[in-house]
Chain A
Amino acid sequence: MKIELTQVSRWYGNVVAVNDVTMTIGPGVTGLLGPNGAGKSTLLHMMAGFLAPSGGTATLDGAPIWRNHEIYRSIGLVPEREAVYGFLTGRQFVLSGARLHRLPDPEGATDKALALVEMEGAADRRIETYSKGMRQRVKVAAALVHDPRVLLLDEPFNGMDPRQRLHLMDLIRAMGAEGRTILFSSHILEEVERVAQHIEVLVAGRHAASGDFREIRRRMTDRPHLFRVRSSDDRRLAAALISDASSGAVSLTEAGLQVQALDFQRFTRLLPRLAREAGVRIWQVSPADEDLESVFSYLINRSG
């Protein structure tokens, strides 16, 4: 099954949350990557039928998503907010989902879904006694109980410990390999990289990049990097660096050298060698723009 967004926009009053996004989410695992506040949740809510697009269309296999409760036969949704009925046990919660879907064997489906997320042990405890990671897993179980062809997860790894995280990653990968259409949002590149074959990048409501994760990763590492270098003799090091083509610009500042590396790979090998040859001792090398925001803004400037 596939979800298609065609020129989808969403605005709240004067604020544009999602701006003219066109994308198709097909079988396999797709990661929706973007910094916090980029509009990922807004986009995901429009795919899940919990928000009307202000403009454009969102469809599931051609059928409109908004105001169409039939789509939930095929869609499983794991919302970001952790709230679940605390007075129910994990098993009761998942079972209620199975019954709401009118499955032929709700108990069997519940056991299967609980086993998928390894929650059999705590299934008969009330959800209010669960940790954040356990709540997350029981939500995933409830979303999977009807064996949906499409699974939408909003920041699913938040609050999980590393072991649980790896387990859920394996589960998502396996379900993607079965041909299900899975989309999950994240602001952490490493999470997306480990699970998704395909990445959609959203920055400030705009569709910044789309494609195979290796391609996007390469574009992210190939961009000009900005480093701050502190050494025993900044001026001398600067002279040595600027003579090589891998450095685009070098400036002397109070806090040390600012170096723009055009060729990341070459620069990382070059810096220690040049320093040794020049007899300069390096005290500190730190990336000045490694935060996601600058990576994303680079991507969006390229695509724009």
Chain B
Amino acid sequence: MNGVIADISYRALLGRRRVWLLVLLPLVLLGLAVLLRVVGADGERATVTLLQTFSIGVMLPLLGLIAGTGVIAPEIDDGTVIHLLAKPISRPVIAQTKFAVAASVVAVFAAVPTFAAAYLLIGAESGVAGGFALGALVGGVAYAAVFMLLGVLTRHAVTIGIAYAVVWEGVVGNFVPGARRFSIQQWSQTVADQVSSSAFLSTEIALGFAVPALVVVTAGAVVWAGLRLRGFSLTGDE
């Protein structure tokens, strides 16, 4: 971890307009929770469905994408990253710092609103709020790592990231049973299920697979990003 790099990264990520992108989705989630409450559909089943489909299914990958690519891709794009790289600091440390910033941002903007939305609807009933908050936290951290790696690997990180979130996680992960084993969202739900005793939440991936998978994907992505930064090349206009 490097404090100076973290400081610059937070300012770049949370500065001015970009913060609204991060605020928007949690606001929609809380808005939906309020709406369900107002219309009286605030049962445990509705809460679990809202958190599964919107919180884990939509908000988590998008926030992971915004924060994960946002901590590094714009800087690589416009060349400002040179200011950090042309310093006697090991490149893996730079990658780890960027990851920590992205992960903490996703934790705050995804896990906290998830807990708040669930609590608003059903309080602490069946541990749904705590379970999904934890699931969103670990899933968000994994997404942050994967999308940060994507930001280091390619100039088209956002496009590829959206395609991944929609096609793989959204379609393949939901309809092809085998692919579910390799879905960050499914792992998140497994973790949520572990904490929550709700009868409306059932997952098919074992905790014994989901937790190691989350750890391996997160750590692997951060290490790979560090290695890629070590060999970071500037290709000029010529």
| A140 contacts chain B at the CB level, 8 A cutoff | no
Option from B5, B83, B233 in Cβ contact (under 8 Å) with A50: B233
| A72 contacts chain B at the CB level, 8 A cutoff | yes
Chain A residue numbers with a CB within 8 Å of B16 are 87
Option from A51, A70, A100 in Cβ contact (under 8 Å) with B84: A100
| B82 contacts chain A at the CB level, 8 A cutoff | yes
* B12, A17: Cβ atoms closer than 8 Å: no
* A84, B233: Cβ atoms closer than 8 Å: no
Chain A residue numbers with a CB within 8 Å of B12 are 85, 87
Knowing A41-B236, A69-B89, A97-B87, say if A77 contacts B82 (CB, 8 Å). Answer: yes
Give how many A residues have a beta carbon under 8 Å from the other chain's beta carbons: 38
B68, chain A: closest CB distance, angstroms: 20
* B8, A96: Cβ atoms closer than 8 Å: yes
Q: A97 to B235, alpha carbons, bound, how many Å?
A: 23
A217, chain B: closest CB distance, angstroms: 25
Q: A81 to B236, alpha carbons, bound, how many Å?
A: 9
Closest A residue, CB atoms, query B237 = A41
B78, chain A: closest CB distance, angstroms: 4
Closest B residue, CB atoms, query A139 = B83
Chain A residue numbers with a CB within 8 Å of B85 are 50
B7, chain A: closest CB distance, angstroms: 8
Closest A residue, CB atoms, query B230 = A67
| A88 contacts chain B at the CB level, 8 A cutoff | yes
| A5 contacts chain B at the CB level, 8 A cutoff | no
B178, chain A: closest CB distance, angstroms: 38
Knowing A81-B78, A100-B4, say if A52 contacts B83 (CB, 8 Å). Answer: no
Chain B residue numbers with a CB within 8 Å of A42 are 236, 238
Q: A79 to B78, alpha carbons, bound, how many Å?
A: 12
* A41, B79: Cβ atoms closer than 8 Å: no
Knowing A39-B238, A85-B12, A85-B80, say if A52 contacts B233 (CB, 8 Å). Answer: yes
Which residues of chain A from 52 to 78 have any CB-CB distance to chain B below 8 Å in the complex? Answer: 52, 67, 69-73, 75, 77
B8, chain A: closest CB distance, angstroms: 6
Interface string of A25-49 (1 = CB under 8 A from B): 0000000000011111110010011
A8, chain B: closest CB distance, angstroms: 15
| A173 contacts chain B at the CB level, 8 A cutoff | no
Knowing A41-B237, A42-B238, A67-B230, say if A81 contacts B79 (CB, 8 Å). Answer: yes
| B154 contacts chain A at the CB level, 8 A cutoff | no
| A283 contacts chain B at the CB level, 8 A cutoff | no
* A80, B4: Cβ atoms closer than 8 Å: no
Option from B11, B86, B230, B233 in Cβ contact (under 8 Å) with A51: B233
| B164 contacts chain A at the CB level, 8 A cutoff | no
* B78, A97: Cβ atoms closer than 8 Å: no
Which residues of chain B from 176 to 230 have any CB-CB distance to chain A below 8 Å in the complex? Answer: 230
* B233, A99: Cβ atoms closer than 8 Å: no
Closest A residue, CB atoms, query B81 = A83
* B11, A69: Cβ atoms closer than 8 Å: no
Chain B residue numbers with a CB within 8 Å of A52 are 231, 233
Closest B residue, CB atoms, query A17 = B238
Chain A residue numbers with a CB within 8 Å of B232 are 50
Q: A50 to B83, alpha carbons, bound, how many Å?
A: 12
| B53 contacts chain A at the CB level, 8 A cutoff | no
Chain B residue numbers with a CB within 8 Å of A88 are 8, 11
| B2 contacts chain A at the CB level, 8 A cutoff | yes
Q: Can you give 20 A-B contacts (C-beta < 8 A)?
A: A17-B238, A40-B238, A42-B238, A45-B236, A50-B82, A50-B234, A69-B90, A72-B86, A72-B87, A79-B234, A83-B80, A84-B83, A85-B8, A85-B80, A87-B11, A87-B12, A93-B83, A96-B83, A99-B4, A100-B84
Instruction: Apart from A69-B90, A100-B89, list 13 A-B contacts with CB within 8 A.
Output: A36-B238, A37-B238, A42-B238, A45-B236, A50-B85, A69-B91, A81-B78, A84-B80, A87-B12, A88-B11, A97-B87, A100-B4, A142-B83
